[in-house]
Amino acid sequence: MRITIVGCGSRGSKLAEAADKMMEVKRIYLVDSNRPRADALSASLNKAEVVNNVEEELYHCDLVIECATQDVAKRILPQVVARGVDIMIMSVGALVDDDYRQSISDKAKQCNSKVYIPSGAICGTDGLRASTVGGIQEVELITTMPPANFEGLEYVKEKGIDISNIKEKTVLFNGTAREAVQLFPRNVNVAAIVSIMGIGFDRTMITIAADPNIKVNYHELNIKGEFGNLCTHTFNVPSPINPKTSNLAVFSAISALERIVKNQWVGI
């Protein structure tokens, strides 16, 4: 299998390192707006080479993995699926617009391509997926992170919140997943994952808090449905390279890639 990884930051570099060790992966194409970063990653691997853009190797590629931003994901999704190439998305917030998401789904079916979305930095998505068969009444996600994770966010600035001066757990947002994904694009990809798998962006309720007394990225998922009730607690160790990214989010993508290249689907 030949794969293209878009984005060579903390997520992309870890995925590339893992893919480099998979015997089923024959070639890795790297794309990044920061060419020196891509070159450095390529030099550390055995199967990688840097290309200028996604289109350059689409005819020779079996799978594209997006590890960049929502904007990049929105841009490359249509062109990748239109070529009949499979794609894995990590910036899941790119799919918040219902019409856009449906257009991608329709084009993927038409062109025989697949769109993969890893479970990300949260546990319990298997139960959420299964529970939709019988109907769900409520889905609530509570995300709590260290204040530093929210630095530089325009929403926080507009609210007049001084992140550096938070002394106790402070709720920054309470509302729908649709709002949360747009206001916190680099913090709550899990909200998008849960919404797509469950009852949608407008019925999934999100609470986001900053807590100076924790060192993990914490997600609590509560589901009430015909099956009963489900509650999961995920305490994620942040990536040492990028604290805004949880290690589990990267691990889930690596695990998904392993299942794809081996064509093994246990617990689907």
Percent of the chain with pLDDT over 90: 90
User: Average pLDDT of the chain?
Assistant: 94
- Coil, strand or helix at 101: helix
Q: Are 208 and 143 in contact (CB under 8 A)?
A: yes
Task: Dump the DSSP string for 162-192.
Answer: -GGG--S-EEEEEEEHHHHHHHSTTT-HHHH
- pTM (2 decimals)? 0.92
Residues of the chain with pLDDT > 70, as a percent, come to 99
Whether 219 is a known active-site residue: answer yes
- Average pLDDT score over residue span 60-85: 96
Mean pLDDT, range 224-229, rounded to an integer: 96
Q: What gap in Å lies between CA 265 and CA 93, rounded to an integer?
A: 25
pLDDT at 37 over 80: yes
Tokens read off for 261:
């290249």
The average pLDDT across 26-45 equals 98
Task: Say what the pLDDT of residue 228 is.
Answer: 97
- Predicted pLDDT of residue 17: 97
Q: What is the DSSP string of 187-246?
A: T-HHHHHHHHHTT-TTTEEEEEEE-TT--SEEEEEEEEETTEEEEEEEEEPBPSS-TTSB
Helix or strand or coil: residue 261? helix
Closest CA to 80 of 37, 38, 34, 29: 29
Residue 241, pLDDT score: 75
Residue 267, pLDDT above cutoff 80: no
The predicted-structure confidence for 186-202, as pLDDT tens digits, reads as follows 888 999 999 999 999 99
Please tell me the distance from the alpha carbon of residue 171 to that of residue 231, in angstroms, as a whole number: 20
What are the tens digits of pLDDT across the range 80-99? 999 999 999 999 999 999 99
Contact by Cβ (8 Å): 142, 209: yes
Among 19, 219, 246, 257, the active-site one is 219
Q: Is the dihedral of CA 258, 263, 266, 268 positive or negative?
A: positive
For residues 221-227, give the mean pLDDT: 96
How far CA 15 is from CA of 9, 12, 65, 144, 252, in Å, comes to: 10, 5, 9, 26, 10
> How would you list the strands of the sheet with 170-176, edge to edge?
170-176, 204-210, 136-145, 217-225, 228-236
Q: Is the pLDDT of residue 246 over 90?
A: no
- Please give the pLDDT value at position 268: 67
Residue 141 has a pLDDT of 98
Please check the confidence at residue 239 and state whether its pLDDT lies above 90.
no
> What CA–CA distance (Å, rounded) separates 105 from 99?
10
Query: If pLDDT is split at 50, 70 and 90, which confidence band does 242 have?
Result: confident
Q: Is 244 or 135 the better-scoring residue by pLDDT?
A: 135
Q: What is the pLDDT of residue 9?
A: 93
Strand partners, 35: none
Question: What six digits make up the tokens of 5?
Answer: 């990884």
**Confidence tier at 265 by pLDDT (50, 70, 90):** confident
Nearest CA-CA partner of 168 in 210, 108, 225: 210
